[in-house]
């Protein structure tokens, strides 16, 4: 997520310097983890939470809401489709928030350079 911001800022700089004509990025992209820890569905697990999670998932999505990657593991017991759907909804909300932050930072940097 942070690396996407760095990439876009670098590409903006290259475009300003005339090295590239246009920025070759089609959409925003962000990643987040979700999981079930002690029966509770959680967003953006920290290491300590991840290490004891019953379910651990990583989700990567574009700004248009399309999936780049979904990786999920039942660490102890299999999980239900309902749990999966709830985790995906939680991940999508988290990713939307991250992409909103990305847009603010990238657009703010572009205005600063003007």
Residues 50, 35 contacting (CB under 8 angstroms): yes
Give residue 5's pLDDT band: very low, low, confident or very high (50, 70, 90). very high
pLDDT at 103 over 70: yes
The residues with which 59 forms a beta bridge, in sequence order, are 32, 70
Residue 105 is part of which domain span?
2-113
More confident residue, 67 or 111: 67
Q: What's the Cα-to-Cα distance from 11 to each of 5, 53, 60, 61, 107, rounded to whole Å?
A: 10, 38, 21, 21, 13
The pTM of this model reads 0.87
CA distance 102 to 55: 28
pLDDT tens across 26-42, in order? 999 999 999 999 999 99
User: Which pLDDT value is given to residue 109?
Assistant: 80
pLDDT tens across 43-101, in order? 999 999 999 999 999 999 999 999 999 999 999 889 999 999 999 999 999 999 999 99
CATH number of the domain that 48 lies in?
A: 3.30.230.70
Q: How many independent structural domains does the chain possess?
A: 1
């Amino acid at each position: 997520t942070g690396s996407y911001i760095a990439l876009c800022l670098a590409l903006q700089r290259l475009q300003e310097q005339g090295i590239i004509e246009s920025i070759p990025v089609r959409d925003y992209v962000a990643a987040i983890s979700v999981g079930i820890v002690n029966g509770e569905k959680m967003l953006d697990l920290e290491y300590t939470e991840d290490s004891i999670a019953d379910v651990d998932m990583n989700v990567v999505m574009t700004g248009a809401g399309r999936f780049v990657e979904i990786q999920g593991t039942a660490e102890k017991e299999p999980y239900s489709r309902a749990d999966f759907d709830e985790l995906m909804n939680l991940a999508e909300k988290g990713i939307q928030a991250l992409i909103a932050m990305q847009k603010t930072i990238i657009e703010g940097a572009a205005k600063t350079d003007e």
